[in-house]
Structure 1
């Protein structure tokens, strides 16, 4: 939005209203009540009956820049397309880059296959709302439809997802879930920044490329270091990884994916977020905590060449943190030091070895001690068993333990918050977390329009306005 283009006060008064005052153009736009409207090809002042996308003054300024807005002072509308091939070329390229079929894209975007095909035709004009749905489903920044080659920042993600689709048989639905997740991550971080929230704390984590033997030991070290950076007392449990991610500015998205996938770390233009599956083993909230912690190991410490744009982990890679001392000593061809380090990080981050040993040894009965470790640190039976086996001097028998292995209600409540019930019933799972609250706060501060908020939250104006305050209240720790 930075520009050297100069606009006189008369033009600013015309665009944002005579009553708005401010030190600069951005401040005047944030205070303005002017509403703009855009279509596929044009930007104009909003008038009753206009059917395009309504935009707040700040939103229009951020999306198009003051030079484009200034055209409205001389003409009835401003022309948006950068050339005659946009946005058709962008949509065609992205669909191809993701390796998706038109009918699959149409289903995800909830538009017709004909609309998807027409989006690739330079001579077609479609409702902006249709194009926005399509852009979001493809992981594109919907704000820049027509105005720029929107794939500039998403080509790498699309190429990575296509490769994963071919190499590890990611289904089309899962590919699109990750594509949409990249849009959610980008949008959430953009709104946070516009609202003046604290900077991403993960930037202070210096990426570490040490995977040398013994890898598990480095994982333990990084876990202890991360706990210090997050100011978590050495022997304490982490009450909620969801809350930790929120306070650290880390987008944590939950989605229904293929049951073999546990989670993924997504890098969007240098900004990282986590997608965790709510299906399969992760239906157990304690296993889900291990998945989130594993992805945090990637997100916080992995250098770019080890992470790539999307790193997808299946349950086999995060299966109970088995005896990695023994596995690592064998160093088979299948041994992956990146995953091994993330596994060691995850269990030590959730359950510091010394604290686990102290908790377990407070009980004379093995089953009671094992259950106490599970309940205190919020880890699964398998994770607790192998973690104790990996701690020097503690051996857990292989005999079946018959005690209750299900998570307690308080753990379910803290980690599965907003998963099952949400104030907007049909809101997609990827947008049910704090993303929705950042949207509501941005609209309340006039950074985006009500119309845009409804698009982001897939609801109507009446429902949104009735639920806005409740959505914000669900996430009271946002700064």
Structure 2
């Protein structure tokens, strides 16, 4: 059977247009091993075959049975201008792995009998020029479904994974100008978000909350573009002709983290504060409760009419320089975080729903890799 599978791999690789070297690199399989396998002179591990199948855009289970069935592949679609900032050779494999893990997460959820995620309650919408109104409205809709329309949200990575089945990864990307990215495949419904730990924004621990809220907005509401819809976010996008969808995601993140009704309970009704000192006090109070960075806090209070717009830059500058804008408490230390796939694979293993070998395959491990311990 392995000879027949090797021949199928060779035929499909030629159809797709990959060289041996390209397929070996993308699938993380030694070149010599791949060449021998295609010639029927050797074997590869089940996990490696899964990766080969994924890169070639075919179903791994069908390939193991000697059949070719098409499946989604991570063909990446970049927002206009973003490709120049993306270091494809170094970072594409990390994006592909995130997507692979999101696909595996969907399979494990089925094994565990998990109910549909909250993501199924939302439909994508084409953005309109009224980006702030759109973003605020959509954030209120999500808050309503979560059952909390006023309070601070907890751990955002946990929220995305447990409530929306969005796999969250933290990766040190070589594309240091990129803060975060998200991807989704509309046919299967899989989705993932990646936080770039090498981004300058990670120097402020609370920016991860903003970036994950932002990516959730893209995942829930951006209409898909192509098989894989991928959005790459950069800190300096404001100067590059940001599209309506990006501005909407920013408004969505601000309102999701600092809901209007929550601000009203904390600060009272908006009153267009015109003094810098008083504005800084408002910023400090909001940051203490909602755990948000200075810029997004000030900008949202301006947009929500708590601070007059011509004070915006001065308040941000003084808050940073003097600390008058409050210091949101440092996030509590947490143990090394396992993503949702790892946690649920280990749960399925504990419940004897899968074998140790299948657990390794789902976690993209080789037969010689140790399974992770529960954290």
TM-score scaled to structure 2, two decimals? 0.79
Going from structure 1 to structure 2, the CA distance change for 1:167 and 1:124 (only over 3 Å counts) comes to farther
Going from structure 1 to structure 2, the CA distance change for 1:130 and 1:355 (only over 3 Å counts) comes to closer
Deviation of residue 434 (structure 1)? 1.6
Going from structure 1 to structure 2, the CA distance change for 1:228 and 1:287 (only over 3 Å counts) comes to same
Q: How does 1:75-474 map to 2 (within 5 A)?
A: 81=4, 85-91=7-13, 96=18, 101=22, 104-105=25-26, 109=28, 111-118=29-36, 121-129=38-46, 131-132=48-49, 134-135=51-52, 138=55, 142-147=60-65, 152-155=70-73, 157-158=74-75, 160=77, 169-209=86-126, 211-232=127-148, 234-254=149-169, 255-257=171-173, 258-268=175-185, 269-277=187-195, 278-283=197-202, 284-305=204-225, 309-316=228-235, 334-356=241-263, 359=266, 365-395=278-308, 396-397=311-312, 398=314, 399-401=317-319, 402-403=322-323, 408-409=329-330, 411-413=331-333, 417-418=334-335, 421=336, 432-455=338-361, 456=363, 458=365, 464=371, 467=373, 471=374, 474=375
Going from structure 1 to structure 2, the CA distance change for 1:252 and 1:102 (only over 3 Å counts) comes to closer
Contact 1:207–1:302 (CA<8 Å) still a contact in 2? yes
Contact 2:160–2:168 (CA<8 Å) still a contact in 1? no
What is the RMSD computed on CA atoms of the aligned residues?
A: 3.7
Contact 2:47–2:360 (CA<8 Å) still a contact in 1? no
Deviation of residue 354 (structure 1)? 4.3
In structure 2, the gaps of 5 or more residues are: none
Deviation of residue 182 (structure 1)? 1.1
Hey, what's the Cα distance between the residues in 1 that align with 2:209 and 2:12?
A: 38
Contact 1:86–1:147 (CA<8 Å) still a contact in 2? no
* Structure 2 residue matching 1:285: 3-state secondary structure: coil
Contact 1:136–1:180 (CA<8 Å) still a contact in 2? no
Going from structure 1 to structure 2, the CA distance change for 1:459 and 1:130 (only over 3 Å counts) comes to closer
Hey, what's the Cα distance between the residues in 2 that align with 1:459 and 1:153?
A: 22
Hey, what's the Cα distance between the residues in 2 that align with 1:215 and 1:159?
A: 25
Deviation of residue 116 (structure 1)? 4.1
Deviation of residue 448 (structure 1)? 2.2
For residues 258-310 of structure 1, what are the alpha-carbon distances to aligned partners after superposition, in whole Å with 9 as ceiling and x for unaligned?
222222222233313232222214423321111111111111122224x8613
Going from structure 1 to structure 2, the CA distance change for 1:92 and 1:435 (only over 3 Å counts) comes to farther
Contact 2:45–2:366 (CA<8 Å) still a contact in 1? no
Deviation of residue 318 (structure 1)? 6.8
Hey, what's the Cα distance between the residues in 1 that align with 2:237 and 2:229?
A: 17
Contact 1:206–1:301 (CA<8 Å) still a contact in 2? yes
Going from structure 1 to structure 2, the CA distance change for 1:344 and 1:86 (only over 3 Å counts) comes to same
Hey, what's the Cα distance between the residues in 2 that align with 1:405 and 1:138?
A: 48
* Structure 1 residue matching 2:318: 3-state secondary structure: coil
For residues 46-97 of structure 1, what are the alpha-carbon distances to aligned partners after superposition, in whole Å with 9 as ceiling and x for unaligned?
xxxxxxxxxxxxxxxxxxxxxxxxxxxxxxxxxxx5x773233445666839
Tell which structure's C-alpha radius of gyration is larger.
Answer: 1
Going from structure 1 to structure 2, the CA distance change for 1:91 and 1:436 (only over 3 Å counts) comes to farther
Contact 1:222–1:345 (CA<8 Å) still a contact in 2? yes
Hey, what's the Cα distance between the residues in 1 that align with 2:360 and 2:93?
A: 21
Hey, what's the Cα distance between the residues in 2 that align with 1:164 and 1:122?
A: 42
Going from structure 1 to structure 2, the CA distance change for 1:159 and 1:355 (only over 3 Å counts) comes to closer
Contact 2:179–2:201 (CA<8 Å) still a contact in 1? yes
Hey, what's the Cα distance between the residues in 2 that align with 1:228 and 1:221?
A: 11
Deviation of residue 175 (structure 1)? 0.9
TM-score scaled to structure 1, two decimals? 0.63
Contact 1:219–1:344 (CA<8 Å) still a contact in 2? yes
